[in-house]
Amino acid sequence: MPRTRPLLAALALIAVTSACSSSDGSADRSSADTTTGAGSDTAATGPRYVALGDSYTAGPQLNPTDKASDTCLRSTKNYPHLLAEAIGAASFTDASCSGATTDNVLESVATVGGGKAVPAQIEAVDKDTQLVTVGIGGNDSSLFSSLSVACTQPGTACEDYLDDKVPGILRDTGKNIATVLEAVKERAPQARVVLVGYLGVTPADRGCDALGGDALDTAGVSAGEQSIDRTMAAAARTAGATYVSMNAASKGHDACAGDEAWTNGLSPALGDGAVLHPRAAGMAAVASAVEKVVAS
């Protein structure tokens, strides 16, 4: 079997897992996880905290999963939960949802497979919210999955996609992210708004069995990851939000790093996150990085 086949199959699985249909007004607000106080061992004197984001925030297939999150597949060990406990959040709502785009932060969406309709994530934010983290953008125009697919093709397909398609997608995505951040600031004028970047999955200088060997143009995918990191930084500046970049911090912790990896390759260990998504170690790294920024 050609080595591209398992990689393409994994990418197809990601696309199916993250698919959402058009907006639906019958959203159920219970799809966000809300708690009062962050943990029994920490005095709940910290900020009122709301987390928004996609699967890199939610943590699909990272045990344990909150059953109430339905198709959003939120882990109770994702970085928002870890951060809420670390800062002693007075209240905490995790509205993140696997497969979310920037549109899904601002509008309700009906899920595939008969799950509950998911409300607009921003509904969890109100005037009393004091801290909001946002991790969004990678699913707009199917950026991550389409880039990875292009970079498994022969010839110059990866380079062509990076040159011809990615710049336009990133222009639109950057505007969309800034719009989300501005909407959050409007709903919570006193809140600190933190945009959280994506962990780096792909090393620029080599392939590895965890990523399908030589089937993937890792340099091309890494370039795309760095491009969205820069786009997110610019969007945060535009909206007057704080940006926490995780791309450079991921060096030496990409999917090829074995036991030191923060993200999975194509064959994740059961319960330690989804294919090409954060492992428990990655979620802990993000929580630590954001905590340092929030505490400063």
Reported as a single tens digit per residue, the pLDDT across 223-247 is: 999 999 999 999 999 999 999 999 9
- pLDDT, position 115: 62
Mean pLDDT confidence for 247-262: 97
Locate the domains of the chain by residue range.
4-295
Greater confidence, 164 or 31? 164
Supply φ then ψ for residue 291, to 5 degrees: -60, -40
* Torsion of the alpha carbons at 217, 221, 226 and 227, rounded to the nearest 10: 110
- pLDDT, position 35: 72
Render pLDDT for 58-72 as a digit per residue (tens, 0 to 9).
Answer: 999 999 999 999 999
Which residue, 115, 118, 116, 117, is CA-closest to 105?
118
Indicate the helix (H) or strand (E) that contains 125. none
Rounded to whole angstroms, how far apart are CA atoms 215 and 223?
17
This prediction has a pTM of 0.89
CB atoms within 10 A of CB 29: 13
Place of tokens 């990655």: 282
Is 81 tagged catalytic? no
pLDDT at 39 over 60: no
Which among 31, 145, 245, 277 is annotated as catalytic? 277
- pLDDT, position 36: 60
- pLDDT, position 230: 98
Which CATH fold would you assign to the domain 4-295?
Rossmann fold (3.40.50)
Amino acid code (one letter) for 193: V
Rounded to whole angstroms, how far apart are CA atoms 62 and 23?
27
The encoded tokens of residue 269 equal: 């260990």
State the pLDDT confidence band at 109, using cuts at 50, 70 and 90: confident
HSE toward the beta carbon, residue 136, CA cutoff 13 A = 32
pLDDT at 79 over 50: yes
Q: For strands 48-53 and 131-135, give the pairing.
A: parallel
Rounded to whole angstroms, how far apart are CA atoms 288 and 262?
13
Report the sign of the C-alpha dihedral through residues 167, 144, 280, 30, in that order.
positive
How far apart, in Å, do the first and last CA atoms of the chain sit?
52
Greater confidence, 289 or 45? 289
Q: Is 282 exposed, middle or buried (0-12, 13-18, 19+ CB in 10 A)?
A: buried
State the pLDDT confidence band at 7, using cuts at 50, 70 and 90: low
- pLDDT, position 44: 75
Calculate the average pLDDT of the chain: 89
Which among 31, 55, 91, 108 is annotated as catalytic? 55
Rounded to whole angstroms, how far apart are CA atoms 50 and 130?
8
Report the sign of the C-alpha dihedral through residues 137, 141, 142, 143, in that order.
negative
Rounded to whole angstroms, how far apart are CA atoms 186 and 191?
10
State the pLDDT confidence band at 173, using cuts at 50, 70 and 90: very high
Of 75-79, 113-117, 283-287, least confident by mean pLDDT is 113-117
Report helix, strand or coil for 145.
helix
